[in-house]
Amino acid sequence: MTFRKSTIAAAAVAVLALGFAPAQAQAQEVELHGAVQFNDDHAFNKALLKFEELTAACYDKPIKFVLHRNSELGLEKDYFNFMSKGVSVDYAIVAPSHMSTYSKKAPLMDMPFLFRDLDHWNKVLDQNGLAPIAQDVEERADVVLIGYAGGGTRNLIVNKPVTNMEELKGLPMRVMGAPIQTRIFEAVNAAPSVIAYAEVYNAIQTGVIDAAENEAAGIEQMKFYEVGPPISLTQHAITVRPIAFSGKTYRRLPADLQACIMEAGKAAGAHGRQIESSQDADKLAKMEMDGKLETHVFTERDKLLELAQPVKEAYAAELGATDVLQAITAIK
């Protein structure tokens, strides 16, 4: 027994003398798990893959990423809950609506007419105009928003052209379930009602409603152009899809990797925005070129913004986010 101990000790000294570190001193590989509902053709996947690539390039130690695709780990609401608890998912892209259980301010990111146009949207995200909301999400859900993807522009899908306020007046249309959606479209004199997304096609086809609203990818996927080929370019919302990272995971990581994650998240978000915003415009143009739909400029968009403003202000006040709305509006 004594001989064995001395032999092992001598071997350890020899190893050190040769310049090799013991196994426990070697850098341990970090393994991080991401989740997404789509395949690699989707802009979300491309943004997350860019995040992985940039993080690995920045961090000079062993790191492994595992991206669970095609809803393998559930849906976005599940990913956010997992990240909050620090289990199963370390990073994902999640719609703000799925953060509302934790943060009342989060849905402000999805409010119609929050952004004047695509240029304003980009400036708000580049200038970190959503930082107070991100801070609230981090404090209440323990999830860090490290970047912002998104970029789909939502327009009206109608069964006849709608180009001005008079044609919009009293328009029966479907909106999502969030109360702010109903309040905004009531304010611009439409007649909104909440209908399940899967029922929209039939509801337009049978005349239950005359319109709905969506971005180009949704119009294409659900073939809404078959029942509502005129598209009114109200541009009432531009999506924000944060890249989120589990706070519990983040705090366990070394400081240099934390810095890489924050840097990569911001750049990956910008990459995702460029992809999705350009894809959105391209999809709409292709469907029009293929004769599936026809776009119509909404000539009184300034009036839409004017009518929506009091509702936006009231909603922000309810959320305790008046300062955030004012800061976003002030960005030129």
For 149, list phi and psi in degrees, rounded to 5: -95, -160
Lowest mean pLDDT among 22-31, 52-61, 221-230: 22-31
Residue 11 lies inside a defined structural domain of this protein: no
- From residue 166, alpha-carbon distances to 158, 299, 310 in Å are 15, 11, 20
pLDDT confidence of residue 214:
92
pLDDT in tens, 142-165: 999 999 999 999 999 999 999 999
Q: Check: CB of residue 50 under 8 Å from CB of residue 16.
A: no
Residue 25 lies inside a defined structural domain of this protein: no
Average pLDDT of the chain to the nearest whole number: 90
Residue 97 lies inside a defined structural domain of this protein: yes
Mean pLDDT over residues 248-277, rounded? 96
Residue 262 lies inside a defined structural domain of this protein: yes
Angle between helices 322-330 and 131-141 (to 10 degrees): 150
Mean pLDDT over residues 62-81, rounded? 96
pLDDT confidence of residue 5:
37
- Alpha helix (H) ranges present in the chain? 2-17, 43-58, 76-85, 118-126, 131-141, 165-168, 179-187, 200-205, 216-222, 247-252, 255-289, 301-319, 322-330
Residue 83 lies inside a defined structural domain of this protein: yes
Question: What is the rounded distance in angstroms from the CA atom of residue 311 to the CA atom of residue 272?
Answer: 30
pLDDT confidence of residue 241:
95
| Domains held by the chain: number | 1
For 144, list phi and psi in degrees, rounded to 5: -95, 130
Question: What is the rounded distance in angstroms from the CA atom of residue 64 to the CA atom of residue 29?
Answer: 7
List CB contacts of 128: < 8 A, sequence separation 6 or more.
Answer: none
Q: Residue 22 belongs to what H/E stretch?
A: none
CA 300 to centroid of chain Cα atoms: 28
24 pLDDT more than 90? no
- Smallest Cα–Cα separation from 180: which of 35, 313, 26, 31? 313
Mean pLDDT over residues 182-187, rounded? 96
- To the nearest 10°, report the CA torsion of 82, 83, 86, 89: 70
Q: What angle do CA 248, 252, 255 make, to 5 degrees?
A: 120
Mean pLDDT over residues 70-90, rounded? 96
19 pLDDT more than 60? no
Residue 20 lies inside a defined structural domain of this protein: no
22: pLDDT confidence band, cut at 50, 70 and 90? very low
27 pLDDT more than 70? no
Residue 61 lies inside a defined structural domain of this protein: yes
pLDDT confidence of residue 2:
32
pLDDT confidence of residue 218:
87
Residue 255's CB: how many other CB atoms inside 10 A? 7
Question: What is the rounded distance in angstroms from the CA atom of residue 207 to the CA atom of residue 202?
Answer: 8
pTM above 0.75, yes or no: yes
Domain span at residue 87? 30-330
Q: Which residues pair with 157 in a beta bridge?
A: 212, 231
pLDDT in tens, 104-146: 899 899 899 999 888 999 999 989 999 999 999 999 999 999 9
| CATH number of the domain residue 216 falls in | 3.40.190.170
Mean pLDDT over residues 79-88, rounded? 98
Q: Check: CB of residue 277 under 8 Å from CB of residue 120.
A: no
Residue 102 lies inside a defined structural domain of this protein: yes
pLDDT confidence of residue 189:
97
